């Protein structure tokens, strides 16, 4: 079954430092991978997706993610974190039934 | 204008009651979804509707029933509420390649 895993419940970084939120996937065939962000008391917002093409995908708010087939990873990155990036981040994959499966989420805290 | 709106935002009720959560989208999408986010923040799909046809029904108790009066609405009815139903429920619409979510309904069953 198609699935994603987010190995870290919590990631803490200082403002201005680069951030990485990890995601690994387990799929058969070509993966359709996504990142969503959830701010407090809000619904999820689409950040970026990988369907095919360049392994480095650029998304909203300066985020990017790198698709790495050999490591089955799709880590979310940002060169310089902002306090306002503090939120819950979800990696997701579309499975064979064409529904989206989310990871457990990673809480990112950016400290001033 | 809010693209996907759901009401109420908070719902507190007693065990055994029947309740409904409403969802409306003004994006013209053909497909709408309901997701459940548990206390550990894990999101699970419950239902999706495409042109009034249920196309996904995960292992959800039949106490939960989606109702779609038209393409822009997908309401969630829950009968005989149980303590374990306490969670945040999110409505969404769009294609799987890009979903738009409502702000969630926090359901607390006492």
Residue A85, phi then psi, degrees to nearest 5: -80, -10
Closest chain B residue to the Cα of A89, Cα to Cα: B41
Tell me what the mean pLDDT of segment A82-96 comes to: 91
Residue A101's pLDDT band, with cuts at 50, 70 and 90, is: confident
Instruction: Please choose, from the candidates A49, A36, A53, A48, the residue with its C-alpha nearest in 3D space to the C-alpha of residue A88.
Output: A36
pLDDT score of B1: 59
Residue A27's pLDDT band, with cuts at 50, 70 and 90, is: confident
CB contact under 8 A, B101 and A43: yes
Residue A53's pLDDT band, with cuts at 50, 70 and 90, is: confident
pLDDT score of A97: 66
Determine how many CB atoms are found less than 10 A away from the CB of residue A33. Answer: 23
Give CA separation, B67 vs B33, B44, B62, B75, in Å.
11, 19, 13, 5
Residues B8, A9: Cα–Cα separation, whole Å: 29
Closest chain B residue to the Cα of A104, Cα to Cα: B42
End-to-end C-alpha distance for chain B, whole angstroms: 34
Which residues of chain A are within 8 Å of residue B92 when distances are taken between CB atoms? Answer: 43-44
Residue A111 has pLDDT above 90, yes or no: yes
Which of B96, B103, B106 to mutate to test binding with chain A, by most A CBs within 10 Å of its CB?
Answer: B96
Residue A99 has pLDDT above 80, yes or no: no
Residue B58 has pLDDT above 90, yes or no: no
The answer to whether residue B60 neighbours chain A at the CB level (below 8 Å) is: no
List the structure tokens of A8. 């870290």
Q: Which helix (H) or strand (E) holds B79?
A: none
Q: Cβ neighbours of residue B75 under 8 Å, at least 6 residues apart?
A: B20, B21, B22, B23, B66, B67, B68, B69
């Amino acid at each position: 079954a198609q699935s994603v895993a987010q190995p870290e419940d919590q990631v803490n970084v200082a403002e201005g430092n680069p951030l990485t939120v990890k995601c690994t996937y387990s799929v058969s065939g070509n993966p359709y991978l996504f990142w969503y962000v959830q701010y407090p008391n809000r619904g999820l917002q689409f950040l970026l997706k990988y369907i095919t093409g360049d392994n480095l995908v650029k998304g909203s708010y300066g985020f990017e993610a790198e698709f790495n087939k050999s490591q089955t990873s799709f880590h979310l990155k940002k060169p310089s974190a902002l306090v306002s990036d503090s939120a819950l981040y979800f990696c997701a994959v579309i499975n064979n039934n064409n529904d989206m499966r989310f990871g457990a989420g990673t809480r990112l805290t950016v400290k001033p | 204008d809010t693209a996907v709106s759901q009401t109420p935002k908070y719902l507190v009720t007693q065990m055994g009651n029947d309740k409904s959560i409403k969802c409306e989208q003004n994006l013209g999408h053909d497909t709408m979804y309901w997701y459940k986010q548990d206390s550990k923040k894990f999101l699970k799909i419950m239902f999706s509707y495409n042109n009034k046809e249920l196309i996904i029904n995960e292992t959800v108790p039949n106490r939960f029933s989606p109702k779609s009066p038209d393409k822009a609405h997908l309401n969630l009815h829950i009968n005989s509420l149980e303590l374990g139903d306490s969670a945040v429920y999110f409505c969404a619409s769009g294609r799987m390649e890009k979903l738009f979510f409502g702000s969630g309904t926090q359901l607390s069953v006492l």
